Amino acid sequence: MYEFDSRVRYSETDAQGRMTWLALMDYFQDCSVFHSEAVNLGVEVWTDAQKAWILSSWQICLNRMPRLGEQVTTQTWAYGMKGFYGYRNFSMNSRDGERMAYANSVWVLMDTKKGIPVRVTKEISDAYGLDPQLPMQCSERKIMLPEKYEEKDSLVVPSYFIDTNHHMNNTRYVQVAMEYVPKEFRTMEVRVEYKKAAMCRDVIVPHVTIEDPRVTVALCAPDGQPYAVVVFLKA
Which one, of 61, 51, 108, lies nearest residue 89 by Cα? 61
Helix, strand, coil fractions of the chain, as percent rounded to 5 = 20, 40, 40
Does 131 score more than 90 pLDDT?
yes
Task: Give me the amino acid identity at 211.
Answer: E
**Digit-coded pLDDT (tens) for 179-228:** 999 999 999 999 999 999 999 999 999 999 999 899 999 999 999 999 99
Residue 105 — very low, low, confident or very high, per pLDDT cuts 50/70/90? very high
Does 104 score more than 80 pLDDT?
yes
When the pLDDT of each residue in the chain is averaged and rounded to a whole number, the result is 96
Distance CA 200, CA 158 (A): 6
Distance CA 68, CA 17 (A): 5
Residue 22 — very low, low, confident or very high, per pLDDT cuts 50/70/90? very high
> For residue 173, what pLDDT is reported?
97
> For residue 139, what pLDDT is reported?
87
Residue 49 — very low, low, confident or very high, per pLDDT cuts 50/70/90? very high
Does 100 score more than 90 pLDDT?
yes
- Count of CB atoms situated within 10 Å of the CB of 32: 21
Q: Which domains does the chain have, with CATH numbers?
A: 2-128 (3.10.129.10), 150-233 (3.10.129.10)
Does 77 score more than 90 pLDDT?
yes
| Interval 144-173 mean pLDDT | 95
Does 75 score more than 80 pLDDT?
yes
Bigger pLDDT: 166 vs 75: 75
Does 235 score more than 80 pLDDT?
no
Residue 30 — very low, low, confident or very high, per pLDDT cuts 50/70/90? very high
| Interval 121-127 mean pLDDT | 95
